[in-house]
Structure 1
Amino acid sequence: MKIALLGTGFAQAHAAVYAARGDVDVVMFGRDADKTAKAAGQFGFASSTDMDAAFEDDSFDLVDICLPVRLHAQHVLRALEAGKHALVELPLADDLDDAKRVAEAAARSSKHVFVDMFERFIPANQALFDAVRENTYGRLEQLTLWNMTAHLWPGASLGLKVLPLEAMHSDMDIITRTLGMPKDLTVTTVARDEDSGAIDATFRFHRAAARSSISSLMPKTWGARGGYTASFEHGILDTSSTMGFDGKPTGTLTAYTTDGARELALPPADQYTAMISHVMDVLAGKAENRIAPHSVLDALQLTLDLDQKVNSPH
């Protein structure tokens, strides 16, 4: 499998996964020749500044798009037009109509499009999805999700302008997958400066409620921490995780019922490795695509609604 990896920033998270596999050949593409060569060299990849080659070179099977959000949809569409599979960082687009165009194009195409909804591959989240689907503890009544992080990514803003689309989209996916679309949404924000802030969003459903909180106000020694508490009719699932500088989280999941508290065993999993393994399995005909564009539209709609509340409140 030959892969064109577009981007030199967050693309390195994907690059680290590819570098550990023996079944891929990767070329990293970027605008700055020296920066791109340096980033690619860390993983033993070739580099290029000729972005057109990613689409025009017939030897590439998959285009992995880790570019600014505003460029996502157009590059996915270009990949499909060139007859290539596409993997795109989340969110799929910053406009719902663009996302729908991608979903429609993907449905018509013989090629696969994958959206990096990595949170679907986190074992604690899979346990939540399973509990809702299988009605293990009865109806889900309240869901609280939280993430609190330091600035661990040099040069990356974690201010109010970027937090909804680039940091809360995964929570919106969890909410819509477990409770559907809310009846209404209320938002409270705090801004320390342009690059640091906090958002608290609450969602009302018929006979249920949800909350998503995120903060980038933490000192670097804090690292990144997050989790959820899911309250069902007959039990609670509670999880928390801590991510260090290596980007690999450790965490626990506990079920509380009238019979007591029980820690549930979680398989060790790096969500990015799991996501890319899923992509490769689908392309090899071993699995059905679980992160296709049509599956992210509700979460994107809710994310854009949240972004509107945060950044264009009037």
Structure 2
Amino acid sequence: MKIGLLGTGFGRAHAAVYASHPDVEKVVVFGRTPAKLQPLAEQFGFTATTDVDEIYGDPDIGLVDVCLPTPLHAEYAVRAMEAGKDVLCELPLAASMDEAQRVLEAQHATGRQAFVDLFARFSPVNEYVLKAIADGTYGQLRTWETETRTALLWEGYDLRLDSLAMDALHADLDLFATALGRPDSVSAHGVEGTWRGSAGEAVLTYPGGVLARCAASALMPKSYGMSGGSRVVFAEGVLETEFTGGAEGQGRTVLVEYTDAGRHTVDLPERDTYAAVVDHVLACLAGKETSRVTPESALDGLRLTLDVRQRLTARE
């Protein structure tokens, strides 16, 4: 497989995966700023270009990985499919539901495969939580809270409230949408100022008295990196998770179970979720697996995230 990688910001996390992947023969990375592009290409031994047309026009490139800023996702994903290439789009799929529909229409018209990098779905911890909810392992779900705290790790990229919703809350909101469907109500509030970064949270209510809360802060100092976790409260137990990470990927995640029998750390396999998505995408392209990250499957989570963004950014 020969890959066209668009973007030198969050694209670094994908670059590290491709550099060590046995099924990836060549990577051409596109960036608009040579000062950022060249060190990345040299670090991983990739070909570099500041002309995106070189990637779209290269007949040997079969997959385009779009890691550009969110407002550009749909445009560059559609262009990839129209150029006869499959596409992996960093989350979120698009900046609006109309743009998401453009991606679906292009996929249908071209017959190409499209994937969304919903990496949180591949976390063993999240898989365990989703199964516990679906199976009623600990009885009825009562509350589900998630929190992400991060420094501004990507040079030149701020996280104001509009982008905080799309880039920091979206993965967890997609899990809420996947497990619980559409909420009965959504409220959200946040804070931003003349300083960089922001913080915000959304509170969702679901049938049966279930409450979900999703919070994120991009007000941490550079030394903080990224961390967070979740607390899922059931009628007969509690699951708590904790994770650490940084600009180039997610670190370790721990899951602890609390029941009347006591406290127990759940033994789960370690998995790099970014690498897991790439493995899955390449397996799908080889006809070995069925996609778990289709654009269609991303729509409910995107719709919820856009709803939260609208509330976070609303001015009185």
TM-score by length of 2: 0.93
- 1:53 equivalent to 2:43? Answer no
Instruction: Tell me the CA shift for residue 246 of structure 1.
Output: 6.0
> In 1, Cα distance between the equivalents of 2:154 and 2:54?
29
Report the counterpart of residue 213 of structure 1 in structure 2: 215
Deviation at 1:31, TM superposition (A): 2.5
Aligned positions of 1:194-273 closer than 5 A: 194-207=195-208, 208-243=210-245, 247-273=249-275
Name the CA distance, whole Å, in 1 between partners of 2:205 and 2:48.
Answer: 48
Question: Residue 225 of structure 1 aligns to a residue in which SS?
Answer: strand
Name the residue aligned to 1:115.
116
Aligned to 2:2: 2
TM-score between the two structures when normalised by the length of structure 1: 0.94
Q: CA deviation at 1:289?
A: 0.6
Secondary structure, counterpart of 1:8 in structure 2: coil
1:77 positional shift: 1.3
Deviates more, 1:104-113 or 1:61-70: 104-113
Contact 1:189 1:198 (8 Å CA) reproduced: yes
Alpha-carbon offset, residue 252 of structure 1: 1.4
Please list, as runs of the form range in 1=range in 2, the aligned pairs for 1:36-75 lying within 5 A after superposition.
36-75=37-76
Deviation at 1:132, TM superposition (A): 1.9
Q: What is the rounded CA distance, in whole Å, between the counterparts of 1:255 and 1:312 in structure 2?
A: 38
Q: Does residue 287 in structure 1 map to residue 301 in structure 2? A: no
Output the aligned Cα RMSD. 1.8
Question: Percent identity at matched positions?
Answer: 43
Runs of 4+ in 1 over 4 A off after TM superposition: none
- The aligned residue for residue 126 of structure 1 is 127
Equivalent pairs, count: 314
Secondary structure of 1:26's counterpart equals strand
Unaligned residue ranges in structure 2 (runs of 5+): none
Post-superposition Cα deviations, 1:199-229, rounded to whole Å, max 9, x if no partner, equal 0211111121100111122233433211111
Counterpart in 1 of 2:18? 18
219-228 or 162-171, larger mean C-alpha shift: 219-228
Report what 2:150 is aligned to.
149
CA apart distance, 1:53: 2.4
Name the structure 2 match of 1:83. Answer: 84
**What is the Cα deviation at residue 196 of structure 1?**
1.9
What one-letter code is carried by the residue in structure 2 that aligns with 1:289?
Answer: S
Q: Which amino acid aligns with 2:2?
A: K
The CA distance in 1 between the partners of 2:63 and 2:131, in whole Å, is: 31
Q: Partner residue of 2:302?
A: 300
Q: 1-side partners of 2:287 and 2:247: how far apart?
A: 35
Q: Using the alignment, how far apart are the partners of 2:248 and 2:101 within structure 1?
A: 35
Deviation string, structure 1 residues 242-286 (Cα, Å, up to 9, x no partner): 225764422311122222222111211111111111111111212
Provide the rounded CA distance (Å) in 1 between the counterparts of 2:223 and 2:63: 38
What is the Cα deviation at residue 79 of structure 1? 1.4
- Secondary structure in 1 aligned to 2:98? helix
Greater CA deviation, 191-200 or 204-213? Answer: 191-200
Read off the aligned partner of 2:286 and give its amino acid letter. A
> CA contact under 8 A between 1:243 and 1:249: conserved in structure 2?
yes
**Secondary structure at the residue paired with 2:238?**
strand
Residues 94, 286 of structure 1: alpha-carbon distance in 2 compared, 3 angstrom cutoff: same
- 1:67 and 1:152 mapped to 2: Cα distance? 15
The alpha carbon displacement at 1:164 in A equals 0.6
| Unaligned residue ranges in structure 1 (runs of 5+) | none
Q: Which amino acid aligns with 1:124?
A: V
